[in-house]
Structure 1
Amino acid sequence: MLLIFIASALTFSAAEFSVFVPNGSVSERLGSSAVLPCGLSPALNAKMFDVRWHKNDYNNPVLLYKDLKVQENTGDPQYRGRASLIGELEKGNVSLKLENLTLTDRGEYVCFVQSVTWYEKASVNLIVRALGSSPLFSLAEVGDQVNVSCASGGWSPKPTLTWRDKRGRELTTSHIHYKTDPEGLVSVSSWLLFSPSESEWISCSVGLSDQEMIDSRVLPVKGFWREAFISILVFSLIIIVILTALLLKRQGFLPHCSFQKNAKATVNLCESVPAEALPLTGTSKISEENGDSVKEKIASDSGPHTGVSSQSSVSAKERLLVWNKLKKQKVKLIVDPGTCHRPLTVTQDGTGVYCGQVNTSNSADTFPHVLSKEGFSSEQKYWEVTVDLKTKCKLSWCVGVTQKPPTKETLTALYYEERCGIYPSTDPHIQIPAEDHVTTLGLILDFKHKTLSFINVDKQSHLHTFRMNNMSNNKYFALMSPGIKDCYPVSFHN
């Protein structure tokens, strides 16, 4: 039997074959998965062969199958945990699957298959589609006509723009302009002169195909827009005056304001509020020159506390200085599979976790979690967690620390939900004003000062600091959850 197996393997290895791709181009949505088809002809058993998928650099492959297995730690790091072979190798199917597509995944991929005595290759082009924004209009009167402009951004690849009147007739224009931003997303704009008497309304449609088209309509009535603009301007001024008056009253600049008679009265007022209910600090950039904020001063003056508080007596600026020192000593973490809750799945490289079965309904456990294998009990520890892509795919996540076994009392974390924003695990759940979109969080666990701080790595700004008064002689583990509302992972950024 052994001789038969060896003879069979040598026969397959010595055979000549060709590599083919059924489709020269594959097109999929941003954030979805794509299968790049590739097979052998004749359909030989490819388990004994080397299979290499590469994009721009042969020596830096997307995926490498060699010595009867996929080489996990070889190749381009941006594809680890996202690239896999899904075909039946024994039937000559060596197709590649890419998950969580990004704009950088666009381009030509080479399928290279090699036996002991023969090799062949073929290529397939991957197109990543991104749907842009709804068209926005602007109008200006030009004599008896109206100059109508239409603009839309955030598309990939280059979209088409079409003008039509009420009857569906296409309106021709030579004024269509395209612009590509640094991330590769395309914006399109166009304008045309239109007589309001010709049609009640006109439409501007932008899209990649007939099935992926976004349409907007406008009523180009002469004179209406000037009156509408004046009305909106007056209304906006009234709103600004009201908001300014309310703000001045809240800050104590208007007379008869009982909230701030003096600084001591302010502190005394807040001393009666539990630490968990104190307002959050918000963000402080690394370039700020101010020390502790007023809110941090109130938290530090309100007496001793127990449990977890949403504030720290150490200023956000000092936290950023600590972060600048610790980020060079970043701890590398991996997931402990034994702590992975259903329906979560650990990524192939062992650094991340994603929801295997998306559930958008109201579930009792919307944040199933996983812990790190490594635990901490002393000094200052710093690690990073990737919570989202630049394309804003994630609908929810949770990142923090806890003890084993995890309990509500030992959990200290930040949560994110699409409609709620970022909020702390302490009560009340007050939203933390993050700076735009957060993709990577830095966590500083400080046993000396008994704090857990969160840094927005993208903006180099301080997000939030918890004071943890019961840390002595306790081991803490990094915790993260991708939520259950999407299939995109969160992972330790090693």
Structure 2
Amino acid sequence: MKFICLTLLLVSGITDSRSEQYEVVGPADPVFAVAGEDVILPCSVKPSISVVDMRVEWFRLDLKDSLVHLYDDHEDRNTEQIQYRGRTKLTLQELQTGNASLKLSSVRVSDEGRYKCFIQSMSWYDDVTVDVRVEAVGRPPVITVDGFDRSGGLHLQCESEGWYPEPDLEWLDSEGVSLSSETTETHRNSDRFSLKNTIIVYHSGKIHCRVKLRHHMLETLINTTNNRFISWRTSVILSSVFVVLVVIAGILITVFALKNRAHIQLQDEHRKMQYALDQLQNEKRSIQNEKSRIQHERDQLLQSQKIIITQALPHLRTHTVKVTLDDDSAHPRLFVSHDGNQVRCGNRNTVNEENNRFKYYLGVLGKDGFSSGSFYFEVQVKDQTEWYLGVARESVDRKSWSDLRLDDGYWTVNRRYGDYWALDSAHVSLSLRVEPQRVGVFVDYDQGLVSFYDVESMSHIYSYTGQSFNEKLYPFVCLGYLYNNNSTPLIICD
């Protein structure tokens, strides 16, 4: 009888797990939005089940500060929003029907990009990508008259600004036939395009200037049969003849007088240019000498730093401790090796959800903590695209969504999107000469020091100094966010 009951419970658990599986779906084609207006980014689950009790996260795939909107534990948690603050909305009534579509208000050109809709339940997750294209409709084109050329052609100029992306500009006659024109001048100011194009027309009638952008078009026309253009052409031609005669006479009178003066001025300008050239050559030599001196000092500094670290690493390694990763603290998507020396991403079939595991980050702690003295360990990060390394307080909240930085009880450095950071009270960008393959972590508990080293290049990465520790510190490694699919393991080195 007990065996039958146990079998029924197992079957029921499997059935519940399968019943919670769903697919996150979105639009197959890009979503077009108009700058200044509102847009809906479609996202829903299939079959249509309520996602009120799930985590719904919208983020950008092409930005560092990627959070667009976060719904978790039955409420919006958007304190980390930057570009999207106050412009996003999820509707509770829609979430109850499985619709997690995001309303984005007052669309900007900078909102164009690839968005990820990520939905996670207790035992399942899925996501979909939404491609958003933004259009900004500019001002109506303005036609101005720039006069006539020598052959009597009328110069017309058309301008329009405030467009995104770059639109097309064309001239049309009264029959709608396209007219050839000069090359269009295009300028980009901030995130908008402005255009300017000139054409010469030799016949009267209506001339249209049209600006087109995908689904939008603005047009302006001018009527060149107007009497004021005809009279202007006549006056321009007569005035041009008079001006030419006056200019020729003036040239003949002044050429002789200017000839001798020009020769003297040319000699004077030559002397000035030679003097300026000599000055530039002297400045160039001074800059090159200064550059060589700075490079020499930099090379000496790097060499001395390498010598110091080369001498220091053997001392640091005398404090090496055996770090064994605690599988009971690992995120459900992580596989910890039997000996506790490696961790990688994967998908477990079963896991004990009641343990105090990390919920949102792919993190794991060491089994043993330290509350005094010094300790050191090394981690191989080769071929892993996203990682966090360091130590964490015993009391860190493994269920919350945080930045894994000092204020949250973590002392770490990380790699994300190809950049390196120290997560101090503020994010500190790290300029490293080479990509670390093996990172050493040294902690002096009593002195309040946590330091990181690139073991292979013998270089210092970053140090947290003057810290005050009042509880146990545990080695901490992490493979980043839930959507990291790199299967390369992080390895605790002997």
Q: TM-score range by the shorter chain?
A: 0.3 to 0.5
Tell me the TM-score normalised to structure 2 length. 0.40
Tell me the TM-score normalised to structure 1 length. 0.40
Q: Which has the higher helix share?
A: 2
